[in-house]
Structure 1
Amino acid sequence: MARANDEVSALFQEYADLISITGGDAFRARVYEKAARAIGGHHADVSQLDVKGLQEIPGVGKSIAEKVIEYLGSGRVSAVEELRARIPAGVRRLTTIPSLGPRKALMLYEELGISSIDELADAIHEERLRDLKGFGPRTEEKLLHGIDLLRASGRRVLVDVATDLAEEVVAALSEVSGVQRCEYAGSLRRGRETIGDIDVLVTARRAGPVMRAFTELPYVSEVIAHGEKKTSVRTDRGLAVDLRVVPPDSWGAALLYFTGSKAHNIRVREIAVHQKLKLSEYGLFDAESGKKIVSRTEEDVYARLGLPWIPPTLREDRGEIEAGLRDELPDLVTEADVRGDLHTHTDLTDGLASLEDMVAAAAERGYAYYAITDHGPDLYMQRMTDERMLAQRERVHKLKAKRMRLLHGVELNIAPDGGVDWPEEFLDGFDLCVASVHSHFDQGRAALTRRLVRACENPYVNIIGHPTTRLIGKRPPIDADLDEVFAACARTGTALEINAHPDRLDLGDEHILRAKRHGVRFAIDSDAHAVPHLANLRHGVATAQRGWLTKDDVINTWTLTRLRRFLRKGRS
């Protein structure tokens, strides 16, 4: 089942959007936005809390707590239903278009009757928006680009949503009598950043009980197809799931086949053909006699073809076959290799948990070191000052974490000219500095490139955070000459972040591959703003694996001594 916190968070975010769309009080909308973030990031299950317990969540007052109780009891909130009734669903859908805010969405509906994305695209092409205040050619261009992003994402979901659902399905089916093995496959097993549907494989002697249990899972909303070998369902998470039951002695071949990618499978089958063999989801067979040779494990199949086992995250036909034949596959970084998290936030700025709670959660993960990196003052909405940052530093130094070294850092804002928030004498007091672009995304290519290169050249900037600034399906990456930026990072000893938050995963795998060729080092960070976000690190690791990274490439797998040398960045 979906986590109650996530359901309530989504409802309150929708309520905040509805308040904005209907011209309601902007402060009230922000209150519900903040409550949505706080509830979504809260560690305890809100369905187990009463009104008093709910009010202990930051940003949740009595009125909001009562709405949570109302939703948990009835599945609806009357105040939300009232606003929903006033606005067509299509108008709410318009607000999902990057660069189109609630007020402009309402204006489009009231002035032109536009209540769908297709109607908006038609109106732009017919130049019907140009008479509206605030809608010029540049706005039209941004809206069309936003529509393209939205359409490209289609029905795909972020990797964390797919992972949570897949793990629930696997856990449930693994308990069914007669099930011997159960695992998800497909693009999710390969660590792709967005997922269209989920493939689950089961080995069992009898398929009937497994298929029946699958269709009866509580989050299944529709059975699309029901068969002896394959059953497909839709779920209340917006994802379809395909279940295939295979004989135990076909497990390895089936797992390889349904993991993909298609391009990788074609290359593997070509190797089989050259050896007078035939590979399918049922096994590896002698092409002439039809006799099955191997199929029980993936390792068996690869080995018979003269290949080592290839990690799923590499299976994209990007050289992994050739590397395997040469016995040169990388020893990929794993989550167990990560010794610490170097980019996290607390409630001093835009985080949801206290310093103490974040540190305790990091210690439970077994880290050797952990960095607090709240925002600098140039993001004015965070209300940071020199005094507040120095006071936090004092708290960090006094806080004791068992077997874990605490680092006091900061996430600096890279200004349009490449400068950062504080002068060098103030920056010298931090253990590390992450620097990120948070505004002026539409600067020209040359200006954005200079901006990032200058940040790299700052002797106190250790890591460039979420380097392309993208939000998957919501905001495109900035237009900079990344190869020039990668070269600057390698030259100056500045690491590039692999931001593990599922809506960023920035850098993406293809950029990681390019940056590695320049000799860049990387940091896999959670950018956690709440305790549950620390677990997102797994998605960053998968992305790093897709970029062929080893633990030596990743600075937060290093010992603290080696890491500190890197963070000095050549300073005396």
Structure 2
Amino acid sequence: MVRSNAEVAALLQEYADLLAITGGDAFKARAYEKAARAIDGFPTDVAGLDTKGLQEIPNVGKSIAEKIVEFLHTGQVSIVEEARAEIPAGVRELITIPGLGPRKALILHQELGISSVAELLDALDDERLRDLKGFGEKTEANIRHGIALLQQAGGRILLGAAMEAAEQVIAALSEVTGCRRCTYAGSLRRMRETIGDIDILVAAEHSAPFMEAFAALPNTAEVIVQGEKKTSIRTTKGLQVDLRVLPPAAWGAGLLYFTGSKAHNIRIRELAVRHKLKLSEYGLFHTETGRNLASRTEESVYARLGLPWIPPTLREDRGEVAAALRNALPELVTEADIRGDLHTHTDLTDGVASLADMVDAAAARGYTYYAVTDHAPDMAMQQMTDAKMLAQREQLRQLNGKYRKLHLLHGTELNIGPDGEVDWPAEFLAGFDLCVASVHSHFNQSRDQLTKRLVRACENPHVKIIGHPTTRLIGKRPGIDADFDAVFAACARTGTALEINAHPERLDLNDEDILRAKRHGVKFAVNTDAHATTHLPYMRYGVGTAQRGWLTKDDVINAWPLPRLRRFLAQGRSA
């Protein structure tokens, strides 16, 4: 069953945005934002809670709880509907543009009468934004870039949302009598950061029961096409899902074919042709005799072409076939290799779970070590103090003895200021097991300023990981404009790891940046940046992104044994 938390959180966040657009109470808007984050990270489905139960969730008071119950019972909330009615739909569309927040959307509507993306583009072409307070040429360029990001995203959804939808379909179809195998394919199996359509494959002797069950799924809004070999539906959230039923004997060939990518498949088919063979979704066939030479498993198809099995995350035609022919494919890092998470938060700052709950969840994942890295004081809204951080350190030390196999590390996420300075002085930083440093503001500095800012942070001997290095939010905020080759070189020189932030909205660094950074000799940390216990499983998406960047466990510091990790963290700290 689909958890209601995401839908409730989206509604609360929308209301916070609507309040911001209309110039409503800023404290009220902030309260709804906090509640949205708390609901999204709450481990239990809120659909099963009453008003009293909802108030047990951090940052959810009686008023918000009552509105959640109203939404769960009726599908809407009266005050949200009223707020929507006050604002033209086009203005609400404006706030979806990356880099254009509610305040600027309101100014554009009030001052220039803009209420759609098309009208905004016309205003940009006419240079009408430049006379508005808070706008200028750089703002215009950022808005244009945001519109381009919005248009580029089209109907694509984030990896995490696509995975959740696919696994719900797989769970349902796997229960149908006659199902031999069922899985997802396509760009989802390749762990692309955004997904267009979801491809589901079933191996079975008879397709009709699966096509009928698929079309009748609870979240089906429309059956686009229904046939013997393929059925396509559109879900209630507008996502297209395609189902193909394959004969069990053709499973491997079909899985290879429908996983793609298109460029990888072309490369494989070219190799087949050179061997006088023909590859299709039903098997690898001898061109002259038509005999099926391999089809049951992907491994057998690749082997018949003289190749080892190529992991799906590498199948982008970026040299993987040539490497396979040389027997030079990397042994990719896997989720099982990850020994711990080195960037997480608690409710001491902006997390929604207690320290004890986060540690319990980490222990349940079988980690060897786990770092708590709450925000430092320069993030003023988090109200961190030296005393609070030291008290947490003591609490962590007391918890350390509770777990036989899990070693707890006390860290912090520092803020990289506009000049590259970080929050605490060196003597205070020396007390942490590790420091993650991240950019959280001043995204529009010049390329030279941003580059120097990041390089300076790398040169701080107490900073061992640069968190979410480009700061991007997929489809919402572009990455900062820095010379990242210079940053990568600085990381390699100073022994500073770069984070692969596993949150589906970030996946930062992305695969192409990872490939570039690896050529500089950089090491990486795959972290979840978890703000709730439900975020810890995001590790799978970070590992998938690391695989797309051709990383091995030797490249990833939190795949190392604790003694080796400790040596890395201690390196240079006496400087």
Normalised by the shorter chain, which TM-score bucket?
Answer: over 0.9
For structure 1, which segment, 1-10 or 497-506, has the greater mean C-alpha deviation from structure 2 after superposition? 1-10
The corresponding residue for 2:145 is 145
- Give the Cα–Cα distance (whole angstroms) in 1 for the partners of residues 402 and 41 of structure 2: 22
The corresponding residue for 1:320 is 320
The corresponding residue for 1:189 is 189
Q: Give the residue type in structure 1 aligned to 2:215.
A: T
Choose from 470, 477, 480 the match for 1:478: 480
Q: Give the residue type in structure 1 aligned to 2:103.
A: R
| Structure 1 residue 453 corresponds to structure 2 residue 455 | yes
The corresponding residue for 2:223 is 223
State the shift of 1:354 in Å: 0.8
The corresponding residue for 2:84 is 84
Structure 1: gaps (5+ residues): none
TM-score (norm 2): 0.97
Q: Give the residue type in structure 2 aligned to 1:176.
A: V
The corresponding residue for 1:177 is 177
3-state SS, counterpart of residue 310 of structure 1: coil
- Give the Cα–Cα distance (whole angstroms) in 2 for the partners of residues 441 and 131 of structure 1: 22
- Give the Cα–Cα distance (whole angstroms) in 2 for the partners of residues 2 and 329 of structure 1: 38
* Residue deviations 1:48-81 (CA, integer Å, cap 9, x gap): 1111111111111111111111111111111111
Q: Give the residue type in structure 2 aligned to 1:6.
A: A
Choose from 495, 498, 501 the match for 2:500: 498
The corresponding residue for 2:392 is 392
On the 8 A contact 2:166/2:198 being kept in 1, the answer is: yes
Choose from 557, 560, 568 the match for 1:558: 560
* Residue deviations 1:245-265 (CA, integer Å, cap 9, x gap): 111111111111110011111
- Give the Cα–Cα distance (whole angstroms) in 2 for the partners of residues 454 and 423 of structure 1: 15
* Residue deviations 1:233-276 (CA, integer Å, cap 9, x gap): 11123311011111111111111111001111111101100000
State the shift of 1:277 in Å: 0.3
The corresponding residue for 1:233 is 233
Choose from 413, 430, 433 the match for 1:431: 433
| Structure 1 residue 359 corresponds to structure 2 residue 373 | no
* Residue deviations 1:149-199 (CA, integer Å, cap 9, x gap): 111111111100000001111111111111211111000000100111101
3-state SS, counterpart of residue 306 of structure 2: coil
3-state SS, counterpart of residue 179 of structure 1: coil
State the shift of 1:490 in Å: 1.3
The corresponding residue for 1:206 is 206
The corresponding residue for 1:534 is 536
On the 8 A contact 1:376/1:412 being kept in 2, the answer is: yes
On the 8 A contact 1:94/1:116 being kept in 2, the answer is: yes
Q: Give the residue type in structure 2 aligned to 1:144.
A: R
Matched residue count? 572
The corresponding residue for 1:288 is 288
State the shift of 1:111 in Å: 4.0
Q: Give the residue type in structure 2 aligned to 1:388.
A: K
| Structure 1 residue 124 corresponds to structure 2 residue 124 | yes
The corresponding residue for 1:544 is 546
* Residue deviations 1:70-101 (CA, integer Å, cap 9, x gap): 11111111111111122222211111112222
The corresponding residue for 2:31 is 31
* Residue deviations 1:184-242 (CA, integer Å, cap 9, x gap): 10000001001111011111111111101001101111111111111111112331101
3-state SS, counterpart of residue 373 of structure 1: strand
- Give the Cα–Cα distance (whole angstroms) in 1 for the partners of residues 275 and 309 of structure 2: 18
The corresponding residue for 2:101 is 101
Q: Give the residue type in structure 2 aligned to 1:321.
A: V
Cα distance change, pair 250–369 in 1 and its aligned pair in 2 (3 A): same
| Structure 1 residue 522 corresponds to structure 2 residue 519 | no
On the 8 A contact 2:98/2:478 being kept in 1, the answer is: no
- Give the Cα–Cα distance (whole angstroms) in 2 for the partners of residues 360 and 261 of structure 1: 39
The corresponding residue for 1:335 is 335
3-state SS, counterpart of residue 81 of structure 1: helix
On the 8 A contact 1:375/1:412 being kept in 2, the answer is: yes
On the 8 A contact 1:363/1:401 being kept in 2, the answer is: no
TM-score (norm 1): 0.98
Cα distance change, pair 462–135 in 1 and its aligned pair in 2 (3 A): closer
Q: Give the residue type in structure 2 aligned to 1:85.
A: A
- Give the Cα–Cα distance (whole angstroms) in 1 for the partners of residues 202 and 297 of structure 2: 13
- Give the Cα–Cα distance (whole angstroms) in 2 for the partners of residues 238 and 414 of structure 1: 39
- Give the Cα–Cα distance (whole angstroms) in 2 for the partners of residues 207 and 324 of structure 1: 35
State the shift of 1:564 in Å: 0.5
Superposition pairs of residues 264-279 of structure 1, within 5 angstroms: 264-279=264-279
State the shift of 1:131 in Å: 4.6
For structure 1, which segment, 125-134 or 232-241, has the greater mean C-alpha deviation from structure 2 after superposition? 125-134
On the 8 A contact 1:249/1:296 being kept in 2, the answer is: yes
3-state SS, counterpart of residue 434 of structure 1: strand
3-state SS, counterpart of residue 525 of structure 2: strand
After the TM superposition, list the runs of 4 or more consecutive aligned residues in structure 1 that deviate by more than 4 angstroms.
none
The corresponding residue for 2:489 is 487
On the 8 A contact 1:413/1:420 being kept in 2, the answer is: yes
For structure 1, which segment, 426-435 or 450-459, has the greater mean C-alpha deviation from structure 2 after superposition? 450-459
- Give the Cα–Cα distance (whole angstroms) in 2 for the partners of residues 174 and 129 of structure 1: 55
Identity score, percent:
72
State the shift of 1:559 in Å: 1.0
State the shift of 1:530 in Å: 0.7
What value does the CA root-mean-square deviation take over the aligned residues? 1.3
On the 8 A contact 2:507/2:542 being kept in 1, the answer is: yes
On the 8 A contact 1:12/1:33 being kept in 2, the answer is: yes
State the shift of 1:387 in Å: 1.3
On the 8 A contact 2:3/2:47 being kept in 1, the answer is: no
Structure 2: gaps (5+ residues): none
The corresponding residue for 1:114 is 114
The corresponding residue for 2:21 is 21
3-state SS, counterpart of residue 38 of structure 2: helix
State the shift of 1:127 in Å: 2.7
- Give the Cα–Cα distance (whole angstroms) in 2 for the partners of residues 87 and 278 of structure 1: 58
- Give the Cα–Cα distance (whole angstroms) in 1 for the partners of residues 269 and 146 of structure 2: 39
| Structure 1 residue 420 corresponds to structure 2 residue 398 | no
On the 8 A contact 1:360/1:401 being kept in 2, the answer is: no
State the shift of 1:137 in Å: 2.9
On the 8 A contact 1:492/1:569 being kept in 2, the answer is: no
- Give the Cα–Cα distance (whole angstroms) in 1 for the partners of residues 453 and 84 of structure 2: 43
- Give the Cα–Cα distance (whole angstroms) in 1 for the partners of residues 9 and 187 of structure 2: 28
- Give the Cα–Cα distance (whole angstroms) in 1 for the partners of residues 444 and 110 of structure 2: 29
State the shift of 1:550 in Å: 0.8
On the 8 A contact 1:359/1:401 being kept in 2, the answer is: no
State the shift of 1:378 in Å: 1.1
